[in-house]
Amino acid sequence: EVQLVESGGGLVKPGRSLRLSCAASGFTFSSYTMNWVRQAPGKGLEWVSSITPGSSYMYYADSVKGRFTISRDNGESSLYLQMNSLRLEDTAIYFCARDHGPWAARPLLSPDRLAPWGQGTLVTVSS
């Protein structure tokens, strides 16, 4: 069974840092682009960042560019999101999501539909 389990969320003050993790199992992690998507309380979905299987390409939403860094460890089947200079508006549930199709089956450097998703980890930025 494919599973994604996020961790690392919590309460943090503005300007501080937090690192999220996503542990993957049940599939060949090194074959898929991985993604972070967030959802502010009561709001819709916002794509945050994506990383290709070999970490050659990383993509970021403008709202987090320069503050967040996505990374992965294929040996550990883990995805990470280092979040620096956190702002009040970064408060959200952060979901880890896998590309639906493996990298080799996708058009070069194109995004994909997202499935499956983890259950999310809540990040609250507050003074």
Residues near other proteins, by CB under 8 A: 35, 37, 44-47, 50, 59, 61-62, 95, 100, 110-120
Minimum Å gap between C-beta 68 and other proteins is 13
Say which amino acid occupies 100: H
Strands 114-117 and 45-51: unpaired
Strands 18-25 and 10-12: unpaired
Minimum Å gap between C-beta 87 and other proteins is 19
Minimum Å gap between C-beta 13 and other proteins is 27
Minimum Å gap between C-beta 4 and other proteins is 9
Q: Which is closer to other proteins, CB of 66 or CB of 75?
A: 66
From the list 106, 77, 112, 61, the residue with the least C-alpha distance to 4 is 77
Q: Which is closer to other proteins, CB of 23 or CB of 45?
A: 45
Q: Which is closer to other proteins, CB of 27 or CB of 47?
A: 47
Say which amino acid occupies 103: W
* DSSP line for 38-81: EE-TT--EEEEEEE-TTSS-EEE-TTTTTTEEEEEETTTTEEEE
Q: Which is closer to other proteins, CB of 58 or CB of 74?
A: 58
The Cα–Cα gap between 94 and 35 comes to 10
